[in-house]
Amino acid sequence: MSETSTKAPDPMDIALGAAVRIRRRTIGMSQEALAEQCGVSFQQIQKYENGANRISFSRLVQIARALRCRVTDLMDVFDGPDRETATDLDLLTRMRTPGALELLAAYERLAPEARSSLVSLLRTVAPERVKESEAA
């Protein structure tokens, strides 16, 4: 049997892609506009943002310039201690969930009481998953 190349994206590639997506959306730039400024297709930007394709350093510099930020701004997630870095990578991975950014933006606009009520409701209808280590 031959080995297939359906290897899952590396968590660091996913996190860097998520950081690019968050920055792009924060400044209101479309994938098409970013792609045009970097000389690639918008499909390539999608692959970068999903972590499906790795971003070379030269391309990362182009992306940072197009997003009007420093390369280090996109890579801050990798600077913390191992535990902090793992938490940041997890957060960036979760931010890839469709609707996550829109949900966060709407949440920020809520009054504190409404936020508390919403969190209580969500805990009721979507209980946290049992961690694998707790299930064992």
pLDDT of residue 136: 38
**DSSP codes joined into one string, 14-26:** HHHHHHHHHHHHH
Check residue 6 and give its pLDDT.
Answer: 66
pTM metric for this prediction: 0.63
Q: Based on C-alpha coordinates, what's the Rg of the chain?
A: 18
64: nearest Cα among 106, 94, 90, 27: 27
The pLDDT assigned to 4 comes to 46
**Cβ-based neighbour number of residue 70 at 10 Å:** 12
Closest listed residue to residue 102, CA positions, set 19, 43, 25, 31:
25
For the chain, which residues score pLDDT lower than 50? 1-4, 130-136
* Closest alpha carbon to 75 in 19, 14, 34, 11: 19
DSSP state of 88: H
Helix or strand or coil: residue 121?
helix
Please enumerate in sequence order all residues whose Cβ is within 8 A of that of 107, keeping only pairs 6 or more positions apart, or say none.
115, 118
pLDDT of res. 105:
84
Contact 74, 26 (CB under 8 A): no
